Structure 1
Amino acid sequence: MKTILAIDSFKGCMSSSEVEETIAGVLNKNGVETLCLPMSDGGEGMLPVFTSAMGGTLEPVYIHDQMMRRVDAQYGVMPDGTAIIEVAQACGLTLVKEEERNPMRSTTYGVGELLSRAIKRGCRNFIIGLGGTGTSDAGIGMIRALVDIFARGKSFDEALKTELGECRFTLASDVDNPLCGKNGAAHVYAPQKGATPEMIEQLDRRARLFAEKSALHFGFDKSNEPGAGAAGGLGYAFMQYLGAEMKSGADLLLDLTDFNGKIKDADLIMTGEGSADRQTLMGKLPQRILMRGKQLGVPVGLVAGRVEDREELLSAGFSFVESITPEGMPLEDAIKKEVAFSNLRRFATSLVYEKT
């Protein structure tokens, strides 16, 4: 029996590789052939997953975080010169303590610095992972950094045509929110980044004003494009100012790794994420993998740290939907790494017995 493991990270707890290697360790001991394919949809952990899958290397850099403090970061470089950028390296929510979170002050300036390092290295093709940010500045900080670095003595339009004109940007994200409004970046995502109700209104007004001025300047407006609200509005800035194209992060990785070719002779695909519910079916990685399994007639099972809406997930076509966390275990205990590893091994052992 051949089982493909294609599981996203259990965010804040275990990486994709850690989840898959733990399950594979149990299955392999019991005679089950496994193939581990570390996964990411463009969010947390995207950088090592994409870089490894594409045979690249990680380049260390020194930039500013969202509070303008110096911080170590990395970007990936592929053999063909393509750069992999995970914006959370510069403005990730996990880079600041909970009491420091303030999207009125936080900036995406470091994202612009990351881009500039790769551009100066000679990279012209970029895959950008949008996710896990602690900012909501509509990408204003990123644009400011690019102006500071590339537009010295010239207009930003001139810099766009020269230093940035040859660059191509592909955005990896599963978010389809617009920039502004009730479904926009501020209203939907800023609360988890520390925004109060008053801040949310201010952030939304700021983003709307930025988009209006940008539209007057360029003669077109990308603020209502699907994904413009991703990463606190970074999606908008990339599309409006840098001509970026938005793609499903999951599909992008699956295509780059020839996922369909790897699963065609499999007996089972196991996918998953930290928390699974009906939103999983809204274009997230497990749903994308389910679609591919259906196309090739390979059953797809779902495992998660936490599961809600089980019947809805089963109705969508998953062959099983399982939580590794025992019923009644408090969340603060379940997300402890050693506890999660133990729960994951228990799940894998139960799976072996069910299949034999």
Structure 2
Amino acid sequence: MKILLALDSFKGCLTSEEVEDTLAHALAAQGMETRSFPLSDGGEGMLEAFVAALHGHIVSTSVHDSLMRSIEAPYGITSDGTTIIETARACGLTLLSAEERNPLIATSYGVGELIADALHRGCRKFIIGLGGSGTSDAGRGMLRALVDAFAQGGTMEEVITRDTADCRFTLACDVRNPLYGRNGAAHVFAPQKGATPDMVEELDRRARHFAEESARRLGWDMSSRPGAGAAGGLGYAFMQYFQTDSRSGADLLLDFIGFDEALQGVDLVITGEGHADRQTLMGKLPERVLQRALAHGVPVRLVAGRVDDKDILTAAGFAGVDAITPDGMDTEEAVKPEVARQNIREWVRRELDPVHLSSQR
């Protein structure tokens, strides 16, 4: 039996590669052939997944995190000079302790520093992964860093137009929210970044004001475009100031790795993520894997650390939907890497032994 592994990371626990490596070893012990595609939809793990798919390499540079502390942040460069940036490596929520989270002061400045470093290396094509940010500054910090890096005088619009005119940016993004309003960046995402209700209102007001000012200066307004609210409004800044295209991060990576072609001769696809629920069906990576595999007549099993809305996920077309975490195990224990690996092994032995699979055909 030939099984294709196409999983996202189990966020905060195991990387995509670690999940798939554990599955592959467990399945090999059952006599099954596997092929692995470590994946990401633009959030955690995006950098390594895209660098591997595009046969690039990783470099690093000194930037500032969202509290303007100096850190080393990595990004990728491919053989044709395409830069791959996972914005969370510079302004990610995971870089902050719970006590430090404050989107009123958190800045995306470090993302601009990553872009500037790549520009100085001669790179002009960029893939920007949006997700996991600890900011809600509508990308103003990122833009300010670029102005500071190319301080030759002029307004923000003039500096950015002059120094990035020959650049092409593609956003890897699965968020569809606008910049501001009840479905915007502040109201939907800022609470998980430490914002109180009063902070949410202030962040939304700031985003609206920035969008109005930018529209007056540039003559167009991208604030309502789907994805403008991604990464605390970083999506908006790229769309407004760089006329950036946005694509599903999952579909972009699946195209790069030749996923559809790899489905030939495959008996089963296993996909998954840390927590699967009805939101999985809103364009997240497992849903995109499902749709492509079903188009080729290949069944897909969904496995996750935790599962909610199992009936909805099953009705969407998954051949099986399973949580690896045993009932009664608390989350703090379940997210320990070795515990998660053991739970994966147990799931394989329980659900994917050859006899069990044969009985399901």
Equivalents in 1 of 2:159, 2:55: separation in Å?
A: 31
Question: In the aligned structure 1, how far is the partner of 2:181 from the partner of 2:93?
Answer: 22
The 10-residue stretch of structure 1 (292-301 or 160-169) with the greater mean CA deviation from structure 2: 160-169
Q: Return the letter of the residue paired with 2:198.
A: E
CA contact (8 A) 1:64 1:90 kept: yes
Cα shift at 1:185: 0.3
Alignment check: 8 A CA contact 2:143 2:156 kept? no
1:355 aligns to what?
A: 357
Residues 73-99 of structure 1 show CA distances to partners (whole Å, capped at 9, x for unaligned) of 111000111000000011000101110
**What is the CA–CA distance in structure 2 between the aligned matches of 1:307 and 1:237, rounded to whole Å?**
35
Separation in 2, partners of 1:155, 1:234: 20
Q: Tell me how far apart the structure 1 counterparts of residues 319 and 272 of structure 2 sit (CA, whole Å).
A: 12
Deviation at 1:338, TM superposition (A): 1.6
CA distance in 2, matches of 1:156, 1:175: 27
Between the aligned partners of 1:334 and 1:97, the Cα distance in structure 2 is: 21
What's the offset of the Cα at 1:31? 1.1
Whether the 8 Å contact between 2:133 and 2:231 is mirrored in structure 1 is: yes
Q: Distance in 1 between matches of 2:290 and 2:343?
A: 24
CA–CA separation in structure 2 for the residues paired with 1:161 and 1:95 = 31
User: TM-score scaled to structure 2, two decimals?
Assistant: 0.97
| 1:115-264 pair list within 5 angstroms | 115-264=115-264
SS in 2 for 1:14: coil
Deviations 1:273-306 (CA, angstroms, capped at 9, x unpaired): 0000111011000000110011111111100000
Shift in Å, 1:133: 0.5
2:138–2:233 CA contact under 8 A, matched in 1: yes
In structure 2, the partner of 1:265 is 265
How far does residue 157 in structure 1 lie from its aligned partner after superposition?
A: 3.4
CA RMSD of aligned residues (A): 0.9
How far is 1:265 from its partner?
1.4
Residues 180 and 229, structure 2, Cα contact 8 Å, conserved in 1: yes
Q: Quick one: distance in 2 between partners of 1:70 and 1:332? A: 30
Q: Give the corresponding residue for 1:280.
A: 280
Percent of paired sites with the same residue: 59
Answering whether residue 89 of structure 2 is matched by residue 89 of structure 1, we say: yes
Using the size of structure 1 for normalisation, the TM-score is 0.98
Equivalence for 2:39: 39
- AA aligned to 2:150 is F
1:76 corresponds to = 76
Q: What is the correspondence of 1:334-349 to structure 2 with a 5 Å cutoff?
A: 334-349=334-349
d(CA) in 1 for partners of 2:106, 2:69: 11
* Equivalence for 1:293: 293
Amino acid at match of 1:302: L
Distance 1:157 1:355 in 2: 60
Whether contact under 8 Å (1:84, 1:127) holds in the other structure is yes
Contact map agreement 1:13 1:337 (CA 8 A) in 2: yes
The residue type equivalent to 1:256 in the other structure is F
Structure 2, gaps ≥5 residues long: none
> SS of the counterpart of 1:162?
helix
Confirm or deny: 8 A CA contact 1:151 1:158 kept in the other structure.
no
Counterpart AA for 1:355? L
Q: Which residue of 1 aligns with 2:329?
A: 329
Please state whether the residue corresponding to 1:5 is helix, strand or coil.
Answer: strand
Hey, what does 1:58 align to over in structure 2? 58
